[in-house]
Structure 1
Amino acid sequence: MEHQQVKVVIGDRLGKGQNVAKGVEAAGGIAIVIPGVGADMKLGDVMNKENADFGISFCGSGGAGAITAQTKYKYPAAYSLRSVEQGLTAIRDGKKVLGYGFMDTEELGRRLTEQFIQAKRG
């Protein structure tokens, strides 16, 4: 049975996101890390261009990039997230954009991607 790989875009206000990307890849997904400072504000644009399954935005408040993506592209978003569990719930609820405070961890990327794959299978 062939399945399309899950594509996840990561935008971090400080230009990070490499650890989350490792977790996405460990779960079998494709991670696209937006380079440079202010990358969180480009999240919706890159998700749209890449036809991504979901995106993760990181900034101090956990809101700016996610709200921008939601406003511009109408992606369902959850923001001000502070734990892996909150993100898992958001994925189960059908959110495509997750806004986090700074939380660049491999576990976050892996578990969110695993949850998305599981939710997609139904």
Structure 2
Amino acid sequence: MSQVVVVIGDRLGKGQNVAKGVESAGGKAIVIAGVGADMRLGDVMKAENADLGISFCGSGGAGAITAQTKYGYQAHYGMRSIDEGVTAINEGKRVLGFGFNDVEELGKRITEALLKAKA
């Protein structure tokens, strides 16, 4: 299996737990530093040639919508569960927008779904 690159942008500058999950599943995680990081998600995805971007904010939409609008990445946003994210991966989405949910399981399951989809 080839490695996948996942960029994580969190409105509050978090995302480290999701990154641990990404890495435990065999992916490379890039956490954007600083408050408002979700709004830079598309820019960092483009710069890093990332396979996937994950945005976290209160609504689960701002960073994902911005990445979709600016770069044309297929996005699904407003999600509240990990299962919704797995479904979005299976539907070919490249940017996932969640409400705040900085947990390892999210990163692990999303990366596993992405690796499976790319296989």
Q: TM-score by structure 2 length?
A: 0.99
2:40 aligned residue: 42
Instruction: Give the SS at the match of 2:102.
Output: coil
Which whole-Å CA distance do the structure 1 matches of 2:22 and 2:61 have between them?
21
1:51 aligned residue: 49
1:84 aligned residue: 82
Instruction: Give the SS at the match of 1:60.
Output: coil
Corresponding residue pairs, total: 119
Could you tell me which amino acid in structure 1 is paired with residue 29 of structure 2?
Answer: A
Q: 1:93, CA displacement in angstroms?
A: 0.2
Structure 1: where are the runs of 5+ without partners? none
Q: 1:107, CA displacement in angstroms?
A: 0.1
1:74 aligned residue: 72
Which 4+ stretches in 1 moved above 2 angstroms? Answer: none
> Is the aligned partner of 1:18 residue 2:16?
yes
Q: TM-score by structure 1 length?
A: 0.96
Q: 1:4, CA displacement in angstroms?
A: 3.0
Could you tell me which amino acid in structure 1 is paired with residue 108 of structure 2?
Answer: R
